[in-house]
Chain A
Amino acid sequence: MIVFDQVQKSYQVGGRAIPALHPTSMTIDTGEVFGIVGHSGAGKSTLVRLINLLEPPTGGRILIDDENITDYTATELRAFRRKVGMIFQHFNLLSSKTVADNIAFPMKLAGIYSRTEIRDRVDELLKRVGLADQANKYPTQLSGGQKQRVGIARALACRPTILLCDEATSALDPQTTQSVLKLLADINRELGLTIVLITHEMDVVRRVCDRVAVMDAGEVVEMGPVSDVFLHPKHPTTRDFVFESENIDREEMQQDLQHAQGRILRLTFRGESTYTPLLGSVARESGVDFSILSGRIDHIKDTPYGQLTLSLVGGDLDVAMQALEAADVHVEVVR
């Protein structure tokens, strides 16, 4: 468990303290995939680097499994860092070492593993990330996705309990992003590893995260289970991210709504209710006519969801809303 207790960070620039992270308290549970989403400069890079103290905080305490890591001596800190893997946007592999040597590197640095242990572990990890046949290549000979797989294998070498992902998929194309995210999800499930992932893409959060914190200007402005934050965003920044990820143009949407007649409702289906044939029967029972203005049916991690914006004309609106709510559909009146 990672606990932030009033943690803050500021940088000294020309004698003045510029805050990068305002006092923040939060808890990341063991075994969860925790996303931190924000625009560049929002402080998410700082936040993730506080967890392995690449950036020391200027205030507050960081507790990891009930130990205050800010009190660690240099030696304790190095031992602790071996238990925290990290992967990066630009992979940060050593160009002078082969794939196998890159993966072996953290184990060699640790100085507590025998040669055979290292060799066996490297073989195992190469297989795990699907690069068994690339062991003797150099990073420049690999594609971006393969490089990130090497990065993941290297981060896992010393069997960490936490994996930090710093924009791990931002330099990859959509297809490669998918496969890397799937690998991360598999690792999380199979090894029970806590993953803290920062990204500027809500889509990445939607696919793999259990909970998410949204950051803006050095502050966590919204935090909660991904489905809550994603389907019912409250803070304007969060809304921006959600709209962005769904490719919704706000102005266009406003225009569409102006043209629509009657009441406008936004319905959110989650889990099993997504597949229930509901709209037709509700329309028949209540006599309401509806047209779909916009909609999306997708998955949040493994849970299906649907979100529809409808305009409703005629009939008995109250009956319709009661019927929908009775069927576990979240109803929001837009107009």
Chain B
Amino acid sequence: MEALMETLLTNVDWTEIGWASWDTLVMVGMSLLFSVLIGLPLGVMLFLFGKRQLLEQRAAYAVLSFVVNVLRSVPFIILLIVMIPFTVMLIGTSLGVAGAIPPLVAGGAPFFARLVETSLREVDRGIIEATQAMGATVKQIVFGALLPEALPGIIAGITVTAITLVSYAAMSGVVGGGGLGDLAIRFGYQRFQTDVMVITVALLVIFVQLLQMAGDRLVLYFSRK
């Protein structure tokens, strides 16, 4: 068995794979964290400024919505390249794990913001009305009613965003990011080491499956409907 593995996976350096997996984890984890930190308030604002919502602000909504749409419509591979000067300015380098995080956040945060907006819109208007009738402030409505009611949807949104970030993170290998994608491109693609390609892809698949399972469980746990 071991011999078979050796012959089939001649090019696979498991230490390298280990580090690359760790790098992917860090990239996804950090960019997810910042995407949620930026995307959640952005999504709440999009919701509140929207038509016939609590703080209807047509101009503000139009601007926010435009920025989000622009960031979402630029293909991520282009965003990676366009972001390079900004990334260098922000953290000093556009390479490696750290260099990949700003473009990942730029791609992930607006994506997540839209998902948050959608799940907030799905909260029954009657609940907002009832909370208003109790004399709640907008802040109390958001934190006391809207976010708790939309929590399962928001968690599902985090899962989808995390999975999107896994695929974005793999893409960042093209411009010198790190992680499994980088490994797949440098060894699997450029050096024709198919075994490395297969292993990295398999690891990515497993990673995505685990994320989805964990997300689904959490959604179920927080759903009271």
A-side residues, CB < 8 A to B, are 52, 54, 77-82, 84, 86, 88, 90, 92-97, 105-106, 108-110, 138-140, 158, 164
Contact = CB atoms under 8 A, between A and B. Distances in A.
B151 A96 contact: yes
B117 to A, nearest CB: 19
- For the complex of A and B, 10 pairs with smallest distance between CB atoms: A81-B135, A92-B130, A92-B126, A78-B135, A106-B134, A96-B148, A86-B133, A82-B135, A138-B224, A95-B224
6 contacts: A54-B129, A95-B149, A96-B151, A96-B222, A96-B224, A109-B131
B140 interface: yes
B145 interface: yes
B64 to A, nearest CB: 24
B152 to A, nearest CB: 9
A52 B127 contact: no
B225 interface: yes
B135 A110 contact: yes
* Chain A interface main SS type: mixed
Contact of B126 (A81, A84, A88): A88
Contacts of A78: 135-137
B11 interface: no
Contacts of A84: 133
B132 interface: yes
Contact of B130 (A79, A82, A88, A110): A88
Contacts of A164: 133
Given A54-B129, A95-B225, A138-B224, A109 B135 contact: yes
B144 A54 contact: no
Contacts, number: 64
Contact of A92 (B129, B140, B148, B224): B129
Interface in B103-133: 124, 126-127, 129-133
Q: Could you say which interface size class chain B belongs to?
A: 20 to 34
B135 A97 contact: no
A94 B149 contact: yes
A81 B134 contact: yes
Contacts of B148: 94, 96-97
B135 A139 contact: no
B194 to A, nearest CB: 49
A95, A108, A139, A140 pick with most chain B CB within 10 angstroms: A95
A97 to B, nearest CB: 7
Contacts of B144: 105, 108-109
A150 B136 CA distance: 19
Nearest to A95: B224
A51 to B, nearest CB: 10
A90 to B, nearest CB: 6
B129 A140 contact: no
A80 B134 contact: no
Contact of B133 (A54, A95, A97, A108): A54
A108 B127 CA distance: 16
Contacts of A82: 134-135
Given A109-B140, A140-B224, A92 B124 contact: yes
A54 B130 CA distance: 10
Contacts of A158: 134
Contact of A96 (B132, B134, B135, B149): B149
A66 to B, nearest CB: 20
B157 to A, nearest CB: 16
Contacts of B132: 54, 81
A108 B134 CA distance: 10
B127 A94 contact: yes
A140 B152 CA distance: 15
Contacts of B124: 90, 92
B130 A86 contact: yes
B145 to A, nearest CB: 6
A139 B134 contact: no
